[in-house]
Amino acid sequence: MEVHHPHHPTHKKNWSEYIIEFVMLFTAVTLGFFAENVREHMSEKQKKRELLQTVALDFEADLKQFEFHKGFALDKIKHCDSLIAINNSDFTKIDQQIYYALILKTIWWWHFNPNEKSRNEAEAKGYFTEKENSELNYNISKFNFFKNDLKDMELIENDADKTIMAELPNYTEHALLDKQLRFPAIDIPQKMGIKTIDQKTANKMNYEFSILKLCSDVYMMDIDSMTVYAKKSIEIINKDYK
């Protein structure tokens, strides 16, 4: 016996149904595309916000460094003044313990190490050149200007220290200096009188001490300027990207 299945008539779509399906498909794809763009845009904005907040935190860390470096520069000026006075005085009346401690403190230095990894990353991403960040870009560029000037002062300071250290045999006793050039330094006894320094060496040292004082003066002015622009940058970031 044969089984006969009824034949259902096939619906033929007219052209308007094809258009509707095409429009619906096109709309779905387009909306998906825009949704993905919006998601990526929001994700990028979040990444930018987080990175700039890190920039602000790094500026805060720099500000804490400035407090130390400014105090160190002030002390170095005082030490240089004391050594210049000693070079122009009676060497038999100078306490050797104080003298060698002054020398150690004067030729010692601490370089400023900026926390700029986040700033470099943000700059590489173009965040500082965007129109809405023009004020932030200005303040960071000014900060970098004075940071570079400060680095130049460190190079000059290094050269002056090298010259002073090259003269060590002419104005120190090795047995005493050897104890001081340790970490930590070994104490030497108090005793009145130091090695006699010839006038030529004393004059040469005095000029180098004056250079160190100049470096410290400029160093502190750079720090004051960097402090201003760091605080302005932090204020902008906290206002716009908190």
In the block, which residue shows the tokens 């763009």?
37
Is 0.85 surpassed by the pTM of this model? no
Inform me whether the pLDDT recorded for 35 exceeds 50.
Answer: no
Q: Span 36-56, mean pLDDT?
A: 75
Q: CB-based contacts of 204: which residues, under 8 Å, 6+ apart?
A: 163, 167
Q: Span 78-106, mean pLDDT?
A: 95
| DSSP for residue 133 | G
Angle at 48 between CA 236 and CA 228, to 5 degrees: 25
Q: Which of 31-45, 85-99, 175-189 has the lowest mean pLDDT?
A: 31-45
Inform me whether the pLDDT recorded for 66 exceeds 90.
Answer: yes
Inform me whether the pLDDT recorded for 48 exceeds 50.
Answer: yes
Q: Which of 33-37, 96-100, 203-207, 230-234 has the lowest mean pLDDT?
A: 33-37
Angle at 110 between CA 104 and CA 113, to 5 degrees: 170
